[in-house]
């Protein structure tokens, strides 16, 4: 299906909800569900947890559309802790699922994925969780979403589905925002064959999609966001602001989304010059993600 920037901007809110949930209770594996999820017409089915070196942290969730419970969303947040920052920089290529080489830091987190019911009962890894859901309620679609580190993890999560024997593999779509490169050519080739619907959305002035460098290579269909002169005059051009998820939403749909207030130039353009953006809730960009972006400045 063709890429829809308006839909992509709205779907990024699912990742915003994951960021907000982590920010509300960083040490909880089952933080309060962001009210935006219910307002969007979705119910949380399970929490996604994973290891940060020695600690287990909340990373995201699996949700189902209320009106059509066969439609599922997996949303994964980006870097928020110092341990995650260290794993971001672990680019030693290691084999993944027998389908090619990926960055060791990303692999370490993805291999520790566990899904947990709201009552604390551990379900298992992603393929196991989807198989259990499919047995109870037939799955009609699975959309995997992630930003920054979460985009890399979303790619590996999609690979877990596609490379498993899960009957949901053919119903899979991956959409990432500001993804770093995840694997080498062998992984990219295997992944693109198994997950044909992959939209990799990236801001050409964002540093994070440029790393790790060769021989790492991106997967999926590239959707470049090139800023106009008017947008450049409105947005602060620095690594943090170019990487911020709200910036991506604004670049995709300026009529309905606005950049984070800290990223607006002191004398912004008139609203009509940038599409009359309307305010939306801010999402946080973790200190570690900011530091990652800053340390990758050439």
State yes or no: pLDDT of 275 exceeds 70: no
Residue position matching structure tokens 């990742």: 15
Which pLDDT value is given to residue 90?
A: 67
Which pLDDT value is given to residue 267?
A: 56
Quick one: average pLDDT of 244-266? 94
Residue 60: strand pairing partners: 48, 76
Q: Is omega for the bond preceding 131 within 30 degrees of 0, making it cis?
A: no
Torsion (CA) 82, 88, 286, 39 in degrees, nearest 10: -130
Residue 202: strand pairing partners: 224
CB half-sphere exposure, 201, CA atoms < 13 A: 28
pTM exceeds 0.85, yes or no = yes
CA–CA distance, 32 with 78 (Å, rounded to integer): 18
Which pLDDT value is given to residue 52?
A: 81
Q: Is residue 155 within 8 Å of 176, Cβ to Cβ?
A: yes
Query: By C-alpha distance, which of 220, 216, 250, 218 is closest to 232?
Result: 250
Q: What percent of the chain has pLDDT over 90?
A: 79
Q: Among 44-48, 239-243, 267-271, whose mean pLDDT is lowest? A: 267-271
Quick one: average pLDDT of 146-171? 89
Question: What CATH architecture is 5-226?
Answer: 3-Layer(aba) Sandwich (3.40)
Query: By C-alpha distance, which of 103, 115, 252 is closest to 175?
Result: 252
State yes or no: pLDDT of 277 exceeds 50: no
Which pLDDT value is given to residue 1?
A: 78
Give me the residue spans of the domains in the chain.
Answer: 5-226
More confident residue, 267 or 281: 267
Give the burial string for 173-187 (b: 16+ CB within 10 Å, else e): bbbbbbbbbbbbebb
Q: What is the pLDDT of residues 23-46, one digit of tens each?
A: 999 999 999 999 999 999 999 999
Q: What is the mean pLDDT of the chain?
A: 87
């Amino acid at each position: 299906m063709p890429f829809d920037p308006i839909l992509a901007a709205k779907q990024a809110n699912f990742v915003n909800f994951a960021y907000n949930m982590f920010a509300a209770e960083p040490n909880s594996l089952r933080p309060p569900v962001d009210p935006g999820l219910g307002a969007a017409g979705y119910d949380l089915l399970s929490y996604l947890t994973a290891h940060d070196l020695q600690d287990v942290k909340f990373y995201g969730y699996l949700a189902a559309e209320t009106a059509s419970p066969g439609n599922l969303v997996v949303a994964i947040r980006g870097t928020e802790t110092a341990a995650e920052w260290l794993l971001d920089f672990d680019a030693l290529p290691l084999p993944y699922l027998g389908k090619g080489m990926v960055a060791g830091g990303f692999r370490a987190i993805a291999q520790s994925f566990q899904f947990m019911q709201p009552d604390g009962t551990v379900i298992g890894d992603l393929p196991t969780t989807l198989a259990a859901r499919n047995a109870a309620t037939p799955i009609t679609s699975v959309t995997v979403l992630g930003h920054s580190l979460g985009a890399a993890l979303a790619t590996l999560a999609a690979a877990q589905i596609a490379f498993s024997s899960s009957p949901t593999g053919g119903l899979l779509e991956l959409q990432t925002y500001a993804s770093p490169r995840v694997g080498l050519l062998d992984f990219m080739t295997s992944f693109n064959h198994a997950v044909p619907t992959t939209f990799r959305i990236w801001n050409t002035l964002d540093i994070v999609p440029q790393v790790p460098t060769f021989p790492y290579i991106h997967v999926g269909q590239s959707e470049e966001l090139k800023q106009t002169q008017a947008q450049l005059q409105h947005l602060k051009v620095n690594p943090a602001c170019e990487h911020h998820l709200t910036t991506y939403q604004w670049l995709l749909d300026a009529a309905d989304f606005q950049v984070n207030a800290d990223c607006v130039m002191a004398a912004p353009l008139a609203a009509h010059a940038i599409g009359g953006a309307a305010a939306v809730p801010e999402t946080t960009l973790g200190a570690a993600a900011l530091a990652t972006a800053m340390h990758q400045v050439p």
